[in-house]
Amino acid sequence: MPETASDQELIDEMRERVAEARKSLSAALGAGDGEAAWEAALVALTARGRFGIRLGLGRSRSLLRALDSPEQGVRGALVAGTNGKGSVVALVSAALNAAGVRHATTPSPHLVSYRERLQIDGKPIGGLPFARAIDRALAAADQIEARVGPTTEFELLVGAIFDALREEQVKTAVVEIGLGGRLDAMHAWDGGVAVVTNVGLDHERYLGDTIEAIAGEKAAIIVRGDRAVTGATLRGGALDAMRHRAARVGAPLRIAVPGEVELLGRNGLHVELEGYGVVRIGLLGRHQAVNAAVAAATIDALREAGIADVSADALRSGFAAARWPGRMELIENAFGPTSGRDLLLDGAHNPDGAAALAEGINDLGDDLRGAGKTTLVLGAMADKAVDALCIALTESERLRGATLICTSVADPRSLPPADLERIAKAAGLGSSTIIAADAAAAMRAAATHHGPVVVAGSLYLIGAVREGLMRSGVLPNEGLL
């Protein structure tokens, strides 16, 4: 995606694509053809990526007003953070499911289908209702364009999401911030609870090049009248930024800190949580202890705000059942029913995420199964701190000695595999290297080896691998293909 608005020729091309897609969308909606309507809506929505990333809330707020403010009927938690957002949302969602609370979540980015970006009770919304919401959002965008300019893809998505929730009569949501916090389009909504999971270095071009600066951007989602939750630490002044912002707007702040942790191998972990005692977490990796503490504090804040009442038993049941695709996701026998080989998928795409993955692999030890040395399939975006990411991965002895398969993903920002190989070698990652043109080729190469396979470096890569596994029947389709 371009970082700034494209030149006029590309914008004119986009307008033509959108116009044709909207004709197809209108016809499909009239015929009640959900599949065709969704395909046309997706073209009309994603074509606006040509307008690039334009931080600011003015267009999002104008669009929501043109839609008659559907966001005002939804309360819940707005979740920001460098890492852990998805895990926290997955844990909170699982607890809400266990308590029977109907709710929406907005995972970002999606892995296989764009419809994953709006889920109700953990299931992606249907193509037809999502297409209808996009159609209404497009019409609203037409109304405001002369005054505020063309809306971007993500601004339009915000409008469509809340319009769809109004139509589906969903009153509770746990919503992820896309980039930063202060100026992210999703911050046009305030649900009453503001959560910042943690703060590290990522998206420095937009958010600043220090943890303190990035923390300030993320802390800005805390507004007057909120209850605030954070798992941020003192590193780089992140926790101080949270405290300062909460005090400035008069928001009570919960600082989530986990207690004693017991690792359970392939079965997750036990962690002591304030007010709940020892709780089993179904997600893998000791870093999930902090995410669980943040999620439990979020549940408490939702209860205190009168938004959702989740009992201790429901929280325990939900946290034990929680799953989060593409994040320390362990898939057994992915290379055949008798292969005895594990496939571990993790979207680690920044140094902190890579460090957590390396630690998780170390903790799994022999519980990561396969008869031979590990294969690491790695792909990364060129605008990420790839050198630091590779260095962080070398904290795992398995990964230092792994067969490294460097690949690319279907995105213009993808780092060429040869460049990735050079950076990985300089970091001491992998004992031998293979170049693969794409995710499918990388997985075919990995299948010829005998040890466990780890896939990491980009959520786009994880999505491509999961799609392949769905098409081959290793993973359930879940109606996404």
Asked if residue 361 and residue 282 are part of one domain, the reply reads no
**Tell me, what CATH number does 55's domain have?**
3.40.1190.10
Asked if residue 52 and residue 30 are part of one domain, the reply reads yes
Burial 331-357 (b: 16+ CB within 10 A, else e): beebbeeebebbbbbbbbbbbbbbbbb
CB neighbourhood size of 7 (10 A): 10
pLDDT at 52: 53
How many structural domains are present in the chain? 2
Tell me the average confidence (pLDDT) per consecutive run of 10 residues in the chain, 481 residues long.
55 82 94 94 83 72 98 97 93 98 94 95 95 97 91 93 98 90 88 94 72 90 97 93 97 97 96 97 96 98 98 98 95 90 95 94 95 95 94 97 95 94 98 97 96 96 96 88 77
Distance CA 396, CA 390 (A): 11
pLDDT at 207: 74
pLDDT at 5: 47
Assess if residue 165 is contained within a domain.
yes
Q: DSSP 3-state helix, strand, coil percentages of the chain (rounded to 5)?
A: 50, 15, 35
pLDDT at 1: 40
Asked if residue 465 and residue 356 are part of one domain, the reply reads yes
- Residue 217: HSE in the Cβ half-sphere, 13 Å Cα cutoff: 27
From 286, 321, 356, the end of a domain falls on 321
Assess if residue 227 is contained within a domain.
yes
Asked if residue 363 and residue 310 are part of one domain, the reply reads no
Asked if residue 270 and residue 416 are part of one domain, the reply reads no
Q: CA dihedral defined by 77, 177, 346, 438, rounded to 10 degrees?
A: 150
Strands 123-124 and 227-230: unpaired
Assess if residue 462 is contained within a domain.
yes
Assess if residue 221 is contained within a domain.
yes
Asked if residue 188 and residue 51 are part of one domain, the reply reads yes
* pTM summary value: 0.93
Q: Show the tokens assigned to 315.
A: 């929280």
**Tell me, what CATH number does 430's domain have?**
3.90.190.20
pLDDT at 209: 76
From 262, 288, 321, the end of a domain falls on 321
- Residue 26: HSE in the Cβ half-sphere, 13 Å Cα cutoff: 8
Assess if residue 477 is contained within a domain.
no
Asked if residue 365 and residue 304 are part of one domain, the reply reads no
Assess if residue 268 is contained within a domain.
yes
Distance CA 388, CA 193 (A): 33
Assess if residue 141 is contained within a domain.
yes
Asked if residue 315 and residue 359 are part of one domain, the reply reads no
Inter-CA distances, 79 with 84, 154, 360, Å: 10, 16, 24
Inter-CA distances, 229 with 42, 175, 210, 280, 427, Å: 34, 14, 22, 21, 36
- Residue 357: HSE in the Cβ half-sphere, 13 Å Cα cutoff: 32
Distance CA 119, CA 173 (A): 10
From 260, 292, 321, the end of a domain falls on 321
Asked if residue 439 and residue 333 are part of one domain, the reply reads yes
Q: Show the tokens assigned to 448.
A: 């010829």
Nearest alpha carbon to residue 249 among 227, 228, 229, 223 = 223
Asked if residue 195 and residue 57 are part of one domain, the reply reads yes
Asked if residue 352 and residue 304 are part of one domain, the reply reads no
Nearest alpha carbon to residue 315 among 331, 340, 293 = 293
Contact 174, 93 (CB under 8 A): yes
Domain containing 176 equals 8-321
Asked if residue 144 and residue 64 are part of one domain, the reply reads yes
